[in-house]
Every structure is written in structure tokens, then in C-alpha cells.
A and B are shown apart, each in its own frame.
Chain A
């Protein structure tokens, strides 16, 4: 028979044979490797009934312009049936800079919302009942500061911390690996993360203090295996740091959550979610012997792959996103963000974000794919892919163990180089016509189809700068300076940071001032050159 290609392979380069059967699952057993949903090793899902009892959380990442702009978008999304909030911050905020910092010029409010002070955070959540929604905040370098602002808002409104639910991303290792938004060197950053874990365990028990993220690793060009391996190994690094600081593994491990990308390869992506759960359960069991089974369960959020979207024929992106979203659902995710078709061009318009949300709602309400738990369990192909992804990740685990852990590996540029090499291979496959992209390499249209995009005007920056200037004039400078001194002393003595941070934000110290004060204590990070 003449096949179209001499070799068929998954998006990550795993060879795919013509047909799969029992001969591909030698050594694999239902008892050891598949299990039942809600039971070890959780291949089939962390709950016995999955979407039969509760659908995934539909959580659209949103944030642009000023706090007031984003507050309006949040309220709109809640009226449209969204079930959780997710804040996107602008780049200055992500880098711990105020809107009036010279480096922030031209970037304020562009890739997310600008939050420089407690007052901004209050406006962001104005009229939103913090004890009735869950809030996810995509923030890493300055995560503890933004979290302190959120807690201070709740405190001002008289909401007890134990009624707050949500997540801070707070995953610095993937910043060094892929996203490149850090403030300090790894050691103090890890200490701050352990501190937030410790604080949540004691005071904000429903909060997820960290969302260990593969999303950005994949967006940087990694394969599915690399995404799985580096993300889970990052997770183990955090667990290790927390356990070494004296926190009992069962006190925090049930609150860890993960965040994965869902790319184009339908079956490989489904297998990735299944492999992630099994690998995490096995490694946690093997390395830390937790007593609470919830410490073994990998909970996750998923987002469709931004890097798979094309600027050409943008409406095709709706179709890509639909397939990716379906893969995440069949993979058993706990929450999901579907990208809007215009996100490769700009932040999404209200129409585009509504369509993206409707995509999830159609899958949930109309496709009848949610009736049965792990519907692809037992598929020879999917089980084989699950095995191969787990094995590939384990190979990386061994290498990383040998290198002395993730921090050393990052300092040597190892994960960065692996990802860059993978990205280059993929780029070459596209250029050699081995991976067609509809509308880009194939079925190209000469006439560009444009869609409306969201524009952020310069007034956002001007207004934000003006607000900061007012804030700096109106606050008590001695109280503010005192709170920063207290914070520096706390940091220098390796004391618990969160209470001092909450005091500093209440004293109206800005994000940039707080981060600058901490940099004086902790120093800054310079990345290894990987080219």
C-alpha cells in the first residue's frame, strides 16, 4: 500500500504506527497502570465521577488597560456564565515595576491590567464578592506582593481569609526556563514561594499557593514530553523546598495545582494529561510517602495553545481552539481557558472572548463527551502514548537528578537549550512542508481577512501615572518608608515575609517600591546565555 508519508509522527516527534494493538502494551496492566478513576495512580482522573457530578471551571484569563476596564470585563464574563475569574497583569506589573518606571514606557495596560498599588487592586475587584468567586492571578516574580494586596482588599471588606479561594501562579522556575519574568536569583525566590505556601497553609486554607506551569514551557517551543518533564520536575523541586523547610507534605501538597498547554496533536495531548497524573502520583508516593491520598492527585488548569494560533485567516483559530479544548476535556482537566481567535494579534475583544467561552459551553452542553469518565481509557493508541510520554519524562528526571536538580540545570542552561533545539526542529519541519498549517503554508489566501482588535490608547498609561503621582503625594511618607524598612529587615533575617508585605501594601507602598526594596536585599538574576 502506498502511504502518504514514509514516517508518521506526533507533533512532538513520537513515531506513530499504522495501527495499535495489545502488542504495543507489553508489561502494561489495568491494575498497575490504569486503575479506576479517583484511585491510584489516577491515570483516569482524580475523581471517580469527574464531569458527571461537576463540570470543569470555565475560566477565561482577562485583563487589559486600567483596573476599571478589567473590572468591567470581569463583571461581563460573570454575567455570561463564567465560573471563575482569572487576572492577566501587564508586563510592568509582572516585572514588579510601577507604571511610571522608565522601563514601563509604552507597556502600561497592554498585555494585561496595570496594578501598581493596593488602591488599584481595590478598583479591580470593586463590586465583586471575593468570598463567592475564585480568583486566579497569573503573577510570578512579584506574586507574594500581589497576593498581599488581594488579602488586604479582603481584610478591608471584612472577609475572613479562610473564605477566600483562588490561585497565584507563583511558579518561578518556569520563568527562568521559559517566560523570563523574574526579579531575584533562584534561592530567595524559592524561599518566598515556600513562605507563601506556609502562609496559605496556616491562614488561607482554600487558596492554591502555586500553579506549576508547563504552559509557557510549551509556548517557548518545547515538545509535549519536555513540557511534562520540566513541569513535574519543577513541582517536585517546590515540594522538596517546602518539606525541607519543615512543612508537612500533607499540609500543602493537596493545594498544589498544575497548568498545562493543550496543543494541536489531539491524542498526544490527551495522553499527556493522563501521563501527568500517573507520573505525579508515582513520584510523590516514591519520594515523599504522603499519608493523605489527595497529596498524590494532580489537579490542573489547561489553556489552549496560543502559539498554535495564526494571524492569517484568524477565524480558523476558532476551530483549532475547539479541538484543543476537547482534548483537554477528554484528558480530564479541572479548569480551562479557551483562547480567542484574535489573541495572536492583540488582547481579545468582547465578541471574541464570548465566542471562546461559548466553545467550552458547546462542548459541555451539546457534545455529550462529558458523560463518561476517561472515555479513551483502554485505547491501545492512547495507552501507548501515555506510556511513552511518561517514559520520556522519566528520562529527563534522571538527567535532572544527575545534574543536581532543576536550579543547577537552569544555571547551566539545560532545559532552555533542550527547548530551543526542539523549537528549531519544529520550525524546520514547518519550513520543509512536513507540518502544514492551514492558511499559512497551505490553502493560503492572497487577500488578508482582518478582524477587529482591541486597542489600548496612550491615555491608560497617562492616567495610571497620574494616579500613582497622586498616591505618592497623599500617603503618609514616614509610615510607608517604615513599612519598607521593616520588610527589608524581615527579608534579610529570613523571617516570614507575608505579614510584612501586607503591612507594606496597607501603608500604600507601591509594587515597584516593594520590589526594589526586596532587590536590595536579595540581588537580581542574570540568565545564562543560551543561543
Chain B
């Protein structure tokens, strides 16, 4: 199975992630046999309140990285019902145009009781995707703001998404996520209040960008800023 994962076999990747989600020993055994690729994947986390357009932005990022010829993996996390354990995983609706692209793997994950904005097995799944040679891995968090903090320890770049008109949420996020976000994106940037939001947020974060994800506006700029941010981060690593 490990060999199939390393060869990029989609069925194998999917099944191993299931094992890891279900905490089956065989999953852990396979995980141990997976080797990291020579060049680590670029891991980008996207967080933000519901309604800010996370999935739409993700869809645009997939398209953009595909145009650059990258293999793209996506882990989209949604919350499990604490009452029944069930979950509706609907993030990928926005990304379905990439469903039958062989260079894209999308996996929906339910939190299964894990707090912090990621699923129990997101970290492990990330390792599987990396071993299967996905070069860019996008992680969409649950999106509840302040408590959505786990992503920081997983992703090389964390993007916090806000949208005009959700003012109180921005205030709430300032206390938590905006402090650790590498890039803040004001999505739905053609709406009223976008200018104020951008100006306001610049006081908190050096990288504030404006996008209109449904139209693809601002995506090339975002890709450039992500690349620059990752370059500086790697440089800092090398120097330290």
C-alpha cells in the first residue's frame, strides 16, 4: 500500500487516509513507511468565518496552481455534529470542476470531535498527500475564527479570509487568528466597506490583499505574495 501511495495511486491515498481517520493500526503502519519527497510540499492554510468565500477562493487557487503545472491536494475540514457524530461535508461543491482532473485530489474531512479547526487526521493526511507527490496542499479549516488556531502549526502560509459586512467577526478575529495569519485577504472586495476593511486591517498585518474570488480578481497577486512569503520563511529557516 505504501508503494502505491508513493506512486501517487488515488485509491491507495484515499484508503490510507480513511484508515488514519478511523485510527486503524494499519494506517499508522503505512504512514511510517512513507518517505518525504525531496522537495517538501507548499502547504497553505485558509481560515475565516462562514460566508467569507473560503471554498471559492480555494477553487481559484486550485485553478491557478494547475496552470503553473503543480499537482494540488486539498483537505477541506467541516465540523461533525457533537450530538450524532454525523457531518455534512459540502465544501467541495465549489471545487467540483476540478473533480475529474487527475492532477487534483480533494478530500473532505469531518472534525470527529477534534477542536482547533482541523480534523483528527488532517496532519496525517497531509503527510500522505506529500508522500504521494502533491506539490501544493491547500487546507480549508472549519472556519470559526478565534479557535481555528491549529492550522498555524501545520501550514507554511496561513491565509485569513474576511469579507466586508461581517464587521463584528473581524473584530473577534483580531484577538486570535489575524495575529498569526501570514496574509489577510479581504474577499468580495467589490462590495461596500471593502476599502475601510483593507485600510483597517493594514494596521494589523503587513500583507493585506483584496480579492473578488467569484471573478478570479486578485488571485495572481495572492499567488505572488504566497510565493514571496514562503521564500522569506525558507530563507529564515536556512539562516537560523
Residues of A whose CB lies within 8 Å of any CB of B are: 185, 412, 523, 526, 529, 531
Contacts and interface: CB of A to CB of B under 8 A. Distances in A.
B51 interface: yes
A531 B215 CA distance: 24
Given A523-B215, A526-B214, A412 B51 contact: yes
Nearest to B56: A526
B51 A529 contact: no
Contacts of A531: 88, 90
B175 interface: no
A377 B224 CA distance: 69
B93 interface: yes
Contact of B93 (A185, A412, A523, A529): A529
12 contacts: A185-B214, A412-B51, A523-B215, A526-B56, A526-B94, A526-B214, A529-B55, A529-B90, A529-B93, A529-B94, A531-B88, A531-B90
B44 to A, nearest CB: 22
Give the bracket for the number of chain B residues in contact with chain A: under 10
Contacts of A185: 214
A185 B190 CA distance: 15
Given A526-B56, A529-B55, 4 more contacts: A185-B214, A412-B51, A526-B214, A531-B88
Contacts of A526: 56, 94, 214
A403 B214 CA distance: 21
Contacts, number: 12
B232 to A, nearest CB: 34
A526 to B, nearest CB: 7
Contacts of B93: 529
A227 to B, nearest CB: 26
Interface in B73-118: 88, 90, 93-94
A185 B93 CA distance: 17
Contacts of A412: 51
Nearest to B214: A526
A322 B94 CA distance: 43
Interface string B43-79: 0000000010001100000000000000000000000
Contacts of B55: 529
Nearest to A413: B51
A371 to B, nearest CB: 54
Contacts of B56: 526
A529 B89 CA distance: 11
Contacts of A529: 55, 90, 93-94
A185 B56 CA distance: 15
B51 to A, nearest CB: 7
Nearest to A527: B93
Nearest to B91: A529
A526 B93 CA distance: 10
A412 B51 CA distance: 8
A315 to B, nearest CB: 39
A523 B215 CA distance: 8
A444 to B, nearest CB: 30
A443 B88 CA distance: 36
Nearest to B192: A404
Contacts of B51: 412
Nearest first, the 8 closest Cβ-Cβ pairs linking A and B are A529-B90, A531-B88, A529-B93, A531-B90, A526-B94, A526-B214, A523-B215, A412-B51
Nearest to B59: A526
A523 B214 CA distance: 10
A399 to B, nearest CB: 16
A81 to B, nearest CB: 47
Pick from A412, A523, A529 the residue with the most CB of B within 10 Å. Answer: A529
Contacts of B90: 529, 531
A412 B191 CA distance: 14
Contacts of A523: 215
Contacts of B94: 526, 529
A531 B94 CA distance: 14
A526 B51 CA distance: 14
A246 to B, nearest CB: 24
Contacts of B215: 523
Contacts of B88: 531
Pick from A185, A412, A523, A526 the residue with the most CB of B within 10 Å. Answer: A526
A531 B78 CA distance: 13
Interface in B163-214: 214
B100 to A, nearest CB: 12
Nearest to B50: A529
A220 B88 CA distance: 20
Interface string B213-226: 01100000000000
A184 B93 CA distance: 18
Nearest to B90: A529
A186 to B, nearest CB: 12
A526 B57 CA distance: 13
Contacts of B214: 185, 526
A180 to B, nearest CB: 13
B173 to A, nearest CB: 20
Interface in B5-51: 51
A531 B93 CA distance: 11
B46 to A, nearest CB: 16
A526 B214 CA distance: 8
Nearest to B93: A529
A530 to B, nearest CB: 9
A144 to B, nearest CB: 23
A408 to B, nearest CB: 9
B195 to A, nearest CB: 18
A405 to B, nearest CB: 13
A265 to B, nearest CB: 31
B81 to A, nearest CB: 12
B74 to A, nearest CB: 16
B182 to A, nearest CB: 27
A185 B215 CA distance: 11
A279 B88 CA distance: 39
A531 B90 CA distance: 8
A412 B50 CA distance: 11
A185 B214 CA distance: 10
Nearest to A525: B214
B160 to A, nearest CB: 21
